[in-house]
A = this chain, B = another copy of it.
Amino acid sequence: MSITSDELNFLILRYLQESGFQHSAFVFGHESVVINSGVDGSNVPPGALISFIQKGLQYCEIERHVREDGTEIDCEEPFELLAPHI
């Protein structure tokens, strides 16, 4: 279950295109050469990058708040993408 850089770059290119970052998409497509990588994106749904990151964040939150014995740690602090969680 590892991720190749071609796969990751493909997800990013899709995000740039879907978000209207047309200049970035053009440049990244050429610089990453992901267009020629042979990645088959026909089954990748819209918003895939955001969706994976959201699930990744949920995963982190669970990791932080579940004890080894399965009980939950009570926590009122918001869990955020870029800030450390205390």
**A interface residue numbers (CB < 8 A to B):** 1-5, 7-8, 10-12, 15-16, 19, 21-24, 26-28, 30-32, 39-41, 43-44, 48-61, 78-84
Q: Which residues of B contact A54 (CB under 8 A)?
A: 2-3, 56
**A28 to B49 CA separation, bound complex (whole angstroms):** 16
A-B contact pairs, 12 of them (CB 8 A): A1-B61, A1-B78, A1-B79, A2-B54, A3-B50, A8-B53, A24-B24, A24-B28, A24-B31, A48-B82, A52-B81, A53-B56
- A40 in contact with B1 given A24-B32, A56-B52 (CB within 8 Å): no
Q: Which 10 pairs, one residue from A and one from B, show the smallest C-beta to C-beta distance? A: A56-B56, A52-B56, A55-B56, A55-B59, A24-B28, A59-B59, A7-B81, A23-B26, A27-B27, A30-B30
